[in-house]
Amino acid sequence: MRVVEAALHVVRLPLVHAFATSSHSKTTLTHVLVELRGEDGTVGWGEIASPAGPWYSAETVGTTLLVAREFLLPALLGAEWDHPRAAGARWRKVRGHEFAKAGVDAAAWALWTQAEGVPLARALGGTRDRVPVGVSLGIEPTVDALLAQVQRQVDAGYGRVKLKIAPGWDTEPVAAVRAAFPDHDLHVDANGAYPATEASFAVMRALDAHRLTMLEQPFAPRDLLAHAALQEQVATPVCLDESVVELDDLRTALALRAVGVLNIKVSRMGGLSAAVDAHDLAREAGLPVWCGGMHEFGVGRAANLALSSLPGFTLPSDVSGSEKYYARDVVVPPVVSRDGHSAVPTGPGLGYAVDEAWVRENTLGRTVLALAPDGGVRVEVTPGPAGTGDPGP
């Protein structure tokens, strides 16, 4: 396999409902779609699903665009490789920048499986034709507004609902949701918003009484000791998200008994290859896992859906239907969920076609890298119809 051209499309889509977490709120999402073209004409798509600002991690749309353009794609263009893991080895020296790596890595997997004529899920080791899915709900202006959102998702058939929490928005809304939905699968996610104080531990102990599936990332990413101490005090499994970026983070968390459930995010861990490795390590340790999301467009959602078909993903993953977030997605057909499950695509590659006309219509800017006759890389940057190329929020 040899990539001869690559494009980075900065695309912005409106959300059907505003989404707020402990760090920020948003009504639109700007992600970077990665398009790789092989010398045989085969095309593979990936998605860099970084937030616009440095809230979830240090990366932003702007930093991922820079790193992909200046380091990742130049290392890949023109190189011969026979497997996506070999493609990923081309940028092994680049430290960090997992979101940028994840988009290029997923595009390499999509390109290779498309050329080989095999479904992405099968190539990753998937064993199921459909997977259970859940939804993630942001912080709402009022408890009543939250209850209305939960009811909407329950009516849509989602068996698991995740609630975002933050200091001051935790025990009261969770108690109200549990009272209204006494038997539903609920879990909470703090995105590391709580300091490791006795007051925070008291909040988590209070939440423990509501029969939650998990308490996700209550404390700062590097504070594994606080998560370990919390797990000793509560029966609810502590789930790690931002804390696990590399496999060594997971090994440390396991050794400290700081993790009871693992959220595997393709973006956070640097790609599908690393996500599969995390799945394998967790499964060997007997640790339940599920696939988290970053509100991906259909390209990233399709990759997450394929990953979720692996046998160790025993909990509902964040690969709900496209209509939950977007009135019109960038793939056709859109990802659809029925009765709390999403079907795993069986076609080659991602299993979805990219709606290139819709991508162009919503593009802020486009960067194309191609092999030059002298063996170098030619770069062309152009604004799109939706903006001037500015990748900011």
Closest CA to 126 of 101, 109, 107: 109
- Residue that the structure tokens 């919390």 belong to: 230
Q: How far is CA 393 from CA 11, 214, 327, in A?
A: 11, 31, 20
Buried b / exposed e over 25-54, threshold 16 CB at 10 Å, is: ebeebbbbbbbbbbeeebbbbbbbbbbbee
Active site positions, annotated = 164, 265
With 0-12 / 13-18 / 19 or more C-beta atoms within 10 angstroms meaning exposed / middle / buried, residue 198 is exposed
Dihedral-angle region of residue 40 (phi above 0 means left; psi in -120 to 50 means alpha; beta otherwise): alpha
Cα gap 14→143, rounded to integer Å: 24
Q: Give the pairing of strands 363-371 and 3-20.
A: antiparallel
Please give the full DSSP string across 293-351, using - where no structure is assigned.
-S---HHHHHHHHHHTTSTTB-S-BS---GGGT-SS-SEESPP-EETTEEEPP-SSBTS
- 107 touches 43 (CB < 8 A): no
Residue 322 and residue 309: Cα distance in Å, rounded?
18
DSSP 386: T
Rounded CA-CA distance 13/83 in Å is: 32
Query: How distant, in Å, are the alpha carbons of 250, 268, 275, 289, 304 from that of 247?
Result: 5, 12, 9, 14, 19
Beta bridge partners, 34, equal 8, 46
